[in-house]
Structure 1
Amino acid sequence: MKKYLISLLTLLLLLMFSLTTTAKAETEYPPYNDPISFKDMQDGHGATWDIMFLYKKDIIGGYPDGTFRPNEPITRAQASAMLLRALDIPLLENPTATFKDVSKKSTHYRTLATINEKGILRGENGYMRPAEQTTRAQMAAILRRAFDLPLEQKPMFIDVSPVNWAFADINSVALNRIAGGYQDGTFKPGNPVTRAQFSSFLARAIDDKMKLPEPHPYVSQKGMVVEEDGFQYTIKGDKLVKIDKKTKEETELLTERDFPTQDGLFEVHLETVFPIIIQNGMIYVPYWAAVSQGTDMPYMYGVFQTSAQGGRNHIKYWDLDVVDASQAASMRNFSVHGHDYYYTVEKKMRQFDPTFNDAVNVDQTLILYHKGTFTVEPVKVTEFDARVIFEPLEGSRFSTKVTQNNKSVKFDAGTMFYFNTKGVFSYSLLDGKTKKISSIEAKDMKLTVTTVEIIDVNGKKHSLKK
């Protein structure tokens, strides 16, 4: 990005940030016991290196009492001043912008007018809100614009859906290793940014040596055909294949022959109609752990995982770790979210046979289970009623209608949607809240980026906002 010559800031901003030192070489990173460290950071705050890096470049400063106050939320005026210094953008001499909440006599006026004109931080309806705290979502948008980063549509965090106004900005700063999320796979876009956090984000944006390690998305992709990093993954017959989107070269990752057989059990691991889930180079496939050879009806389910590199040595049976025999008999609707797994089981298990007809309008109580990274056993999350209706098996070599997934249950990044005879509901995996979003009696449901697409029992289509 083109840089500009820096000019003197106003006296108040100089006092606020205490810019009194001479910048040193960019490659010099001070130790925690540097003599100019702040009084309230002597114990080695996690952002000390980032803060001192910016301090020595005259981009940030502390307060007159010798503190930095790293845990205080940063205001829009403070963030604006830091960005102008970081980008070497001089203050406008005679700006013409007018704001309803910032007088032209204010010491903040030239800073806010300059950053507004550059399109980095703008107000709304004539208000700049200089004293307002900056949220993590706002921080992402500000930094993306300031450093001219591309908007990114690849979802990264389970609590940032495409309907979020800063969705592409947040993905961008994550993919550019400027800002990361939390261990639970969230970004917490509405949380305020502290002075220490903003310092870390800004230091990473300025200097590649300060950036985070390579990012990994917490959002999984699910379907019959899934795309990730330039490849398509799908099941063809009894083979799991990987297809290069550019060259169309097809690589066989696994075949049914790669799975060991168990005496007395007929298992089906790979079948054209089985969905696959991909996250961070790992592939999860819900499969039939036991099938009646007389009726083609599965009576036990499981999930195996493998790497995107394939090979029998990479097969792991996920269900053996967390699912007991009673759950495996009806484990369905498996989904991956961050480092966590969710699946449903029937509260009252039933036996299915070839005469089963899922066109009947019947509800069944399902139990949602959760298995986290640090939990040994699955944890019951909630119970809910859902239609006893299953995804079709068109093109399958088997006649059964009982698949691993209910049509009446769907997941997106942070929400489970389901329908029953009373309507359509959403259940947040983040806060555990259930919300009724429609009274429509549905027989099918699909999710798009922003909507829940419903077909009611009369065949009429409806589009509901998430």
Structure 2
Amino acid sequence: MNKLIKLVMALIVSLSIVSLPTGKAQAAGFPDVTSFKKEIDYLTEQKVISGFKDGTFRPSVKLTRAQAVVMIMRAIGMPETPVENPGFLDVSTTTFGYKEIAYAVSLGIINGKSPEQFDPAGNITRAEMATILVNAFEMGGLFPPGFKDVSTKSWAYPYISSLAANNITVGYDDQTFRPKNPIDRAQFSAFLARILNPEFQPSSPLVKDSLVDMTAEANIVDVVKNPDKPIIYFIDALSNSLVMLNLETYEEQFVDLKYPAEKLIIKNGKIFVTQLLQGRSSYNFIDMQKGLINVYDANDLTLLKEVNVNIDPYDIAVDDSETLIISSGSGQHTEVQTYNWKTSEELSSAFINDRKLIELSPTINKVYSVDTHHYTGKIESYTLLDGKITKDVMEPRFFGNELRGYIQFTPDGKYIFNGNGTIYTSSSQKSSDLSPLGQLATPFSTITFDLAGNGMFLADRSNEIIAYDYELLEPVYSMETYGKIDHLFYVEETGELYAFTKLKMNNSAIEYTALERIYLGE
């Protein structure tokens, strides 16, 4: 934000210097201005731009490429040392804006019309202006709705898309951007005012409360965040790979997996990934089952061990001593087992139905399970002691509301939530005391927490995120994403909320997986 403020202040100065008219600024407005009147009046009052001596603004006057580059380059600062001549035949050392053009080209902010021609006196197009603004202000993001006249294969597509994603432009009413049209003083004023003051950004149902940082053809089935770094790990079922993504640099690292994977968990700097060695079936009884758990170093995804297990792994948990707790996905009446991953030794087993999700309590001594393939209204608990698991004897509980196949502890261990919104206490060690405390206002299929900010965020396979006050467990506001939300995760290190979503870009028939960064706030 500080960098942006510096850029904005420098831009104000540069516009005062470069502005073509020399007339006095008129706070009362210009008689020839109808479109973008508020934006132009704002910039005039701020002495960013001024009108002509006859009292007009001449909003339709076009900007040249050299003038536009000078404005932007003076905003981001010029080097003290000489810049290498860019080699354009129509740009000499005496050409207006020579140094700025040379610097902008050296930074890749703008290119010439050809290797020999820059066309400094030519009108700058809307596409070129989008490129300069996005490059200079380091804007990112993509605009999923797109524009009818901007193909995803166009050189200008990523820049125009980023400009729209940041709500600097929404194009024309016919859903076109008209990239080849020259930009005039009024349009440039609108773009500039929206950068300087977000209050001028247009209100459009097409612009959501998020920024699409990246898209890919992928099917993300599970994701976890590194507890100490702004890094996430996820399984892409489409490529059957484990991916590590740095959310600061957007660097990715991939590991191909031999067998289909469904679940992963991080513990003590290690990533544990389930591997299916056989087809899942209700008739694969316990003596027929087998599976594999891959263990990776969380720093570089080095494979540490392949752990053969006597079970079809469905879900996994890991305690502080790195004991593996694995539920079975086959066999109907089957087992949950524990393992020492370093020796591959099976430590214990207990009865469980197949395809149950398991959740390890923050106190590390309780494991809770819930069905995923039908609603039973029942959560079962197990005791974990020294790596050994035993099923608790508890009264059958049908809590009135049908439970979903999703349970989640809060990071502080205070509550356990079911996906239908039911709240349970986890403070008692007696499993028979597991009873509902209340009901959230909304069900959910994914949830994440910002306990330092007293917040939690829920979504339920839609475009809507509900933000809750964690202390009161009440909804406070909602946010909308471009795609339907599969996974939410909050990054404490940067204070940002992210979502993996499914969406279609530019009305494409292909559904992509997108990483959306959410704008927090009411």
Q: TM-score range by the shorter chain?
A: 0.3 to 0.5
- Give the strand-richer structure, 1 or 2: 2
TM-score (normalizing by structure 1): 0.40
Report which of the two structures shows the higher radius of gyration computed on alpha carbons: 2
